[in-house]
Structure 1
Amino acid sequence: MNRNENVKKMILNSILIAIGALLHQITPVLGLPMQPDFAIAILFIIIISNKDYKTTLISSIIIGIFTALTTKFPGGQLPNIIDKVLTANIIYFILLPLRNRVSDNVKMILSLIFGTVLSGLIFLYSAQLIVGLPGEFMNLVKVVVIPAAIMNAILGSILYKAITIAFKATGMNFSVK
């Protein structure tokens, strides 16, 4: 990859990470001091569009830090970082064999549903171990994780389409090899 492609890739990822951080900051809580995580949807967009592990790892760490800074869950800083890094790694390796077999749209929907549930479970489990939870684990899964997965599947798909259309309109290749 030449220098111009690397610069374009860094700019694209920076813009996406900024969008994810902004969405995470403005998303309201769902009753408890927990919120749906649209930053994870942005992370999946980055994973699918870049297709390389180094970008996945770096983006997951950065998004983990941003979500830690903007979390509304008391003591949720470390669980946010843990959940983003673990979820990104798992999703990356799940998508690896699907890379040339299914469309990016299908990979996106699978990532949004499965990845959001996975992220929520990792977050809750790590928060339970580190700081405790404001309710019972399974109740929080029902009240926060499942609705967040549904919202991420719908809104993340719309966001993915909007981003691909915007980049096509500007002449940039969205899928960075």
Structure 2
Amino acid sequence: MNLRKNVLTALLLAIGFILHQIVPGALGAMKFDIMLAMIFVAIFINSDVKNVVLAALMGGIITALTTTFPGGQLPNIIDKIVTCAAVYAMIKLALKFTPELNQVAVIVISFVGTIISGAVFLYSALLIVGLPAPFTALFMGIVLPTAVANVFVTIVIYNAVKMALKASGFSMAR
């Protein structure tokens, strides 16, 4: 594993931690999970399996420690692991058609990844601790708006990181 890429992943997760802390709780004590955008960017930049596992575990632990959802610790870890595996698969599929991820692929993967994350979180929370509101209300009121917001956050951060890496001469070779 490339240490520089691991450091970049750690920095993105630290930024995600800060964003996750300042985002207020919303419907049913759930938060908009902006940490996902940082995890996605870390995986887009370095889609090595080891980095995907690192981002999934660290992102899951960080969000578990900062969750406002009662009993949401384990569902946060479960959802990050499942989501990162799904995002990794979508990236590999997209790279079969193009040599590099384009803007459309980043948008689609971040939207679908956020939907997967929200659905897995809600379903696992439903099974483990129960939900404070109906599944559909939480999905429509939190997951869908978060998916739209994460598209914008992800594309802005991804392009900024990509531009910074290019300016510094850092290789993003897979």
Q: Deviations over 1:67-126 (max 9, x none)?
A: 000111111100000000011011211221211424422221112110001100000000
CA contact (8 A) 2:87 2:113 kept: yes
Tell me the equivalent position of 2:123: 125
CA contact (8 A) 2:80 2:117 kept: yes
Tell me the equivalent position of 1:65: 61
Deviation at 1:55, TM superposition (A): 1.1
Partner amino acid for 2:113? G
CA contact (8 A) 2:118 2:139 kept: yes
Q: Deviations over 1:115-147 (max 9, x none)?
A: 001100000000001111010001111100001
The two structures have a TM-score, normalised by structure 1, of: 0.90
Deviation at 1:17, TM superposition (A): 1.4
Q: Deviations over 1:140-160 (max 9, x none)?
A: 111000010011111221122
- After TM superposition, the structure 1 stretch with the greater mean CA deviation from structure 2, 149-158 or 91-100, is 91-100
Q: How many residues align?
A: 172
Tell me the equivalent position of 1:8: 4
Superposition RMSD in Å: 1.6
CA contact (8 A) 2:6 2:51 kept: no
CA contact (8 A) 2:90 2:109 kept: no
Tell me the equivalent position of 2:23: 27
Partner amino acid for 1:171? G
Regions of 4+ moved over 6 Å: none
Q: Mind listing any 5+ residue stretches in structure 2 that lack a counterpart? A: none
Task: Quote the Cα distance in structure 2 between the aligned partners of 1:132 and 1:27.
Answer: 23
Tell me the equivalent position of 1:139: 137
Query: Tell me, what secondary structure is at the counterpart of 1:99?
Result: helix
Identical counterparts, % of pairs: 41
Partner amino acid for 2:11? I
